Structure 1
């Protein structure tokens, strides 16, 4: 097996997604690097938290203000997501956790060139150790196009040696990506299906009916848009959605399908599609929406110690990565507001890729949604039961569950640190 390149780990401070027991220090990642684009001065980051069977998994994001500390926390979160979906009877073999990030506004004219040069710079890692794909600010089509221009076979080629039948697996995944469900690709819907099922599991455990339960969603991109669709179709009432222009609200419920059809490539809604009864409010109004459920599905650190006081919802479902800062979560918990953590809630996209590639499911939308719903419901229910029995937050319960599974994965497959 190829030996990973030697890179000095960069210790970081407090993280929100570290797979560790309470009271222990966050371990340094296996690989932590910073790249500087010589043409623009923009920086990019790659963190490989750990390898399992020599490979790691985690998306690539692009946003202005992205930092190495942020990417480090996300990489640790990916280690947890992989562990939380470990099924000894499944064909999908958990990988290690990793993440990439570029500190650049994806709307800038220079952004695509920066992306290509970043991928070219980290090409040896993608070829051998890091499987990646779309994350905040990037679409999979864009990542694929840039990867090809950077000389890569695929953004997930590092996993190919682990497949029993590479040709059949790649064909199955390509067929799955070609599936369209009512105007939206299956690959875009998979993660939102998992988020929606997390919401429904929490409601069911609390005995709250789906019909009419009000939801506010921050972000109408890939994850937020798909989540809004699944929740609306389950009978919930989406009363607010926020994008970069502001918040669109309607207490009687928004026409989710119309808004989805009116989005641009960055999830921004054309206001010409709004109905007369829809209103526009400032960007932060989604937090104050009169709703039982808030779904932050856009940027990290969206809920902090100041704006958490505006929230009256009963549940916050983390569709984005690290949207609630730890200090804010403690204040929310003290007010009886439950936060379902990102490491479980938004893990459906990553798991769907691997379930499809390894052959646990075929290239079929109904089969994919059924598998995602069944797996996510079991996982979220297990987390909520553990949180209740141990008197802790769902995040602490998810961390504990991952900490239980990581040694089991290591014993079976090994890992490299």
Structure 2
């Protein structure tokens, strides 16, 4: 652990946290979340996850070379009055850390445009200031970023789409690796915000029947498949489903019903720690793809693995948003949707297929196989400064 910071809001008393888990090339990246009950321990776990998300994307020949992992969190209800003011005070307080080490973006309960607006209003630079020292052409990076974040696809911003596209691609690759046809498969999504909503969209686009979606108010389901696009068009800013948009044969049940729903793929895309040893017995799905951060607790995953349930870990399945930011920034994509979509699909399909293949060959879990890849990549990344120094000395 490189750095732990705890902040207390002088007005409300709310606490905020920044954890820098690792530095690679003097920099770390990870989002900022806000939720009531957020703890330092939670943020530490998320920062460790960001280290893994970064390292798993080391690829020879790409401009993006992974950095370290970090995370921020604020213990406050994002729906309560005064949310933006608390966010502003937090960003002002931790801005020196941002400038030196921490490149951040949105996460659960925080919107990217609010971060950007606050930083611009207070003259605090960019959320990506910490990576500017790594760029050879900052102006070109800014131009690509402007394109990327102004691109709207079928009513949704591109930066909201790439994470769900990655989750859906990972789920489809996992189905195909198991010999399943996505068009003959069904899925249930927990959460209908940016990650859950777009995961549902791209799974449905691939022919997967979305038979259930859980939000804060209940569990909407239909064995024949929900109209995902209609629900996306009418959801609220927090991912709440408009019950007036439901069709006569759609059902509205209890929020907890998602876990035991009859489906092939379960996509937890809301909160951490959602699947526990106590509740995992009710799961009927044979595949869980972690769209949220840390949704399956370790003892639950161990039990699920023994039952033959495959869990694709979060630091693989939901890593596309973070990777895409850096592909845009460093120039692996030009910022357009076509270019971005192509690289997300190519990379997440390849990663998922390789990790599941390694897990099968070695008789280990997908998480263990993915972690082995992360460990090897981190070792290679840590060797790079020594290699660069040696090359300079030779010259």
Q: What TM-score do you get using the length of structure 2 for normalisation? A: 0.96
Question: Hey, what does 2:47 align to over in structure 1?
Answer: 75
Question: Hey, what does 1:14 align to over in structure 2?
Answer: none
Query: Is the 8 Å Cα contact of residues 243 and 283 (structure 1) preserved in structure 2?
Result: yes
Query: What secondary structure is seen at the aligned counterpart in 1 of 2:372?
Result: helix
- Give the distance between the partners of 1:255 and 1:143, measured in 2 at CA: 32
| 1:407 paired to 2:379 | yes
Query: Is the 8 Å Cα contact of residues 210 and 235 (structure 1) preserved in structure 2?
Result: yes
Q: 1:341-391, CA deviations, whole angstroms, 9 ceiling, x for partnerless residues?
A: 001000000000100110011121111111001111111111111111221
Alpha-carbon RMSD across the aligned residues, in angstroms, is: 1.2
Q: 2:361 aligns with which of 369, 386, 389?
A: 389
Query: Is the 8 Å Cα contact of residues 119 and 150 (structure 1) preserved in structure 2?
Result: no
Question: Hey, what does 1:24 align to over in structure 2?
Answer: none
Query: What secondary structure is seen at the aligned counterpart in 2 of 1:51?
Result: coil
| 1:212 paired to 2:208 | no
| 1:300 paired to 2:292 | no
Question: Hey, what does 2:317 align to over in structure 1?
Answer: 345
Question: Superposition pairs for residues 7-406 of structure 1, below 5 Å?
Answer: 29-406=1-378
Query: What secondary structure is seen at the aligned counterpart in 2 of 1:407?
Result: helix
Query: What secondary structure is seen at the aligned counterpart in 2 of 1:248?
Result: strand
- Residue 148 of structure 1: how far off its partner (Å): 2.7
- Residue 150 of structure 1: how far off its partner (Å): 4.3
- Give the distance between the partners of 1:212 and 1:263, measured in 2 at CA: 27
- Residue 149 of structure 1: how far off its partner (Å): 3.7
- Give the distance between the partners of 2:63 and 2:310, measured in 1 at CA: 33
- Give the distance between the partners of 2:221 and 2:120, measured in 1 at CA: 41
Instruction: Name whichever structure is richer in helix by fraction.
Output: 2
Question: Hey, what does 2:393 align to over in structure 1?
Answer: none
4+ runs deviating over 2 angstroms: 146-151
Query: Is the 8 Å Cα contact of residues 57 and 97 (structure 1) preserved in structure 2?
Result: yes
- Give the distance between the partners of 1:146 and 1:240, measured in 2 at CA: 37
- Give the distance between the partners of 1:195 and 1:48, measured in 2 at CA: 25
* Structure 2 alignment gaps of length 5 or more: 387-395
Query: Is the 8 Å Cα contact of residues 83 and 94 (structure 1) preserved in structure 2?
Result: yes
- Give the distance between the partners of 1:379 and 1:400, measured in 2 at CA: 13
- Residue 161 of structure 1: how far off its partner (Å): 1.6
Q: 1:83-117, CA deviations, whole angstroms, 9 ceiling, x for partnerless residues?
A: 10001211012111000000111001021111111
* Structure 1 alignment gaps of length 5 or more: 1-28
Query: What secondary structure is seen at the aligned counterpart in 2 of 1:153?
Result: coil
Q: 1:221-254, CA deviations, whole angstroms, 9 ceiling, x for partnerless residues?
A: 0111111000001000000001111110001000
Which stretch of structure 1 is more off in the superposition, 370-379 or 147-156? 147-156
- Give the distance between the partners of 1:361 and 1:343, measured in 2 at CA: 21
- Give the distance between the partners of 1:230 and 1:137, measured in 2 at CA: 22
Q: What TM-score do you get using the length of structure 1 for normalisation? A: 0.91
Q: 1:271-297, CA deviations, whole angstroms, 9 ceiling, x for partnerless residues?
A: 111111111011111111110000000
Question: Hey, what does 1:10 align to over in structure 2?
Answer: none
